[in-house]
Structure 1
Amino acid sequence: MKIKIDTPLVTVDWLKHHFNYENLIVLDCTIPKVTSKLKSTSDMQILGAVYFDIKNTFSDQNANFPNTVLNPKEFEKKAQELGINNDSIVVCYDNLGVYSSPRVWWNFKLMGFDNVAVLNGGFPKWKTKNYPTEPKQQHKLTKGNFVVKYSPTKIKYTDNVLSQLKDNHIIIADARSKGRFYGTEPEPRVDVKSGHIPNSKSFPYTSVLKEGVLKPKEELKLMFQKINPDYKEFIFTCGTGITASILALAAELSEFKKYAVYDGSWTEWGSSKNVPIEI
């Protein structure tokens, strides 16, 4: 039996119930967390999971900044190599609960693929239920027929953000900590200046999570309505585009559909010349 999905977030119970559906692909999207000493790797994975390598396979290796998205054709090729088809249902998870998996969810949304969701609570939540796991391994994959239908409204670049700084129809929300936003704590990358994009608002990604799980939908709605009562378009930014994608996921769940992620985020802005910075 094949399934489709109509939500950007699924529970571990949902995944276990649909575990044997033929078009299901579970992606392990784990990456190290640059701002934490917490261990984000494991020698175990969800049974049958496929590793989605954000850093080395699904980021532009020739780009000046980390985690830069691939061009659509290259993404299409790499996704096919993971066995992903046009009718696949893709569930993304990571080993920190909800951290890097939303970045992969957003990548697929950017590429025009909607049958994708994040596993709420990720691998830690899966393990608490004693659901099936296995040692880390790469399964033999059959090439898929996935085709990109690129959605450029989901992404912003430095020039876009710079030109929209004073646009009253847009809210720039920064997912970094308040300390990084206000320059009271250093950036994890020594060559990046401190501060924030002018006219942006601090919206730490940690505020939408509780113990590695995304907060309930109604609670998230209230948070987004407070920062954006008029349902303006969001531009989400962070350090390198990872945690901005958590806000994008929370926005989607909260029915704020008009949003984009600033791909270069603060690492690019804070490294650039001739752009304004506020502290």
Structure 2
Amino acid sequence: MSLQITKPLVSVDWLYSNLENEQLIILDCTIPKVTDTLQVSSDKKRIRGAVFIDIKNIFSDKKAPFPNTVLSPEEFQEKAQELGINKDAILICYDDLGMYSSPRVWWMFQLMGFTNIAVLDGGFPEWTSKKYPIENPKYHQRTKGNFNVDYKPAKLKFTEDVLNSIENKETLIVDARSNGRFYGTAPEPRDDIKSGHIPNSVSLPFGEIQNNGKMKSKQELEEIFNTFKDKEQIIFTCGSGITASILALGAEIAGVKNTAVYDGSWTEWGSSNNLPIAL
């Protein structure tokens, strides 16, 4: 029987103990932070056997006007199959920064109806701290997979959805950016984007649900997300959909299910000339 993921987070010890499972696919989800000037090196080390999943250039819609726009279900299915992913795969996502972009890949697969997936708690730094096996990047020959999408549109929100939710007291909009960016006291890292936040949204910087690149404990996350549980819907937003996915992961660990991600996030909202902005 196939190994089933029962929690959205796994430890490096768990991954090491299951490293030889034939259905396991480890996805290197690393991208640089938008505030970093350094680019991800093509010759960086990876977890042994890991496959690079290119969020920016393959698993985002390059024709879209805003960064990190999620693919259509049809395109996502094709790209996942090309990566060699099967419908009975076990997917583990990690990144080099601890837990930054890996939750985005976890969320995208959740959006596409795939649940046998988890994020590696602490990512590559935690893996290497245990001296678990790493390798120089290799091309791992994979045959085309049979991955199937079971699209869950309720997990994805667009600008019109968010605009219509501002006055809805049963919906909570939660922003993962820093407090400085939320209140407009720190500049946006992208040019031509206004400062501030979506009216009636609340600030929850993604770093507040982490400790040193690892997620806080389930109990701590339950305490953080407990005040959200009475809402019919929670919409997570950030700069461009990456760190909003960290909040979505934290909510999932805390047992909060009624969540969605605003894909365009502040890059789209703050670029507009006809949307309300609060400071």
TM over 0.5: yes
2:171–2:231 contact (8 Å) kept in structure 1: no
- Report % sequence identity: 59
- In structure 2, C-alpha distance between the alignment counterparts of 1:118 and 1:17, rounded to whole Å: 16
In 2, are the aligned partners of 1:40 and 1:96 still within 8 Å (CA)? Answer: no
* 2:87 aligned partner: 86
Alpha-carbon distance, 1:229 to partner: 5.1
CA contact (8 A) 1:241 1:264 kept: yes
Q: Is the 8 A contact 2:229 2:256 kept in 1?
A: no
Structure 1 distance, partners of 2:219, 2:40, is 29
2:148 matches 1:147:
yes
Q: Deviations over 1:23-66 (max 9, x none)?
A: 10000000011124677656100001000000000000000000
Contact 2:172-2:231 at 8 Å conserved across structures? no
Partner of residue 22, structure 2: 22
Inter-partner Cα distance in structure 1 for 2:3 and 2:203? 38
Residues 75-224 of structure 1: pairs in structure 2 closer than 5 A: 75-224=76-225
Alpha-carbon contact 2:175-2:205 (below 8 Å) kept: yes
| Counterpart residue number, 1:259 | 259
Gaps of 5+ in 1: none
Alpha carbon RMSD of aligned pairs, Å? 1.3
CA deviation profile, 1:206-241 (whole Å, cap 9, x unmatched): 000111000101001101114x25244210000000
Q: Is the 8 A contact 2:215 2:250 kept in 1?
A: yes
Find the aligned partners of 1:233 and 1:132 in 2 and give their Cα distance.
41
Indicate how the Cα distance of structure 1 residues 39 and 122 shifts in structure 2: closer, same or farther if over 3 A, else same. farther
Secondary structure of 2:67 counterpart = coil
* Distance of aligned partners of 1:229 and 1:82 in 2 relative to their CA distance in 1, 3 Å threshold: closer
**TM-score of the superposed pair, with normalisation by structure 2:** 0.97
Q: Measure, in 1, the Cα distance between the counterparts of 2:92 and 2:220.
A: 23
SS of alignment partner, residue 274 of structure 1: coil
| SS of structure 2 residue aligned to 1:118 | strand
1:22 counterpart letter in structure 2: E
Aligned residues: 278
SS at match of 1:195: coil
Query: Which stretch has the larger CA shift, 132-141 or 157-166?
Result: 132-141
User: Which AA in structure 2 matches 1:189?
Assistant: R
Q: 1:232 to 1:40 in 2, by over 3 A?
A: farther
Cα 1:90–1:215 shift into 2, 3 Å: same
Opposite residue 71 of structure 1, the aligned amino acid is S
* Secondary structure at the counterpart of residue 21 of structure 2: coil
- Asked if the contact 1:172/1:236 (under 8 Å) is kept, the reply is yes
User: Match for residue 245 of structure 1?
Assistant: 245
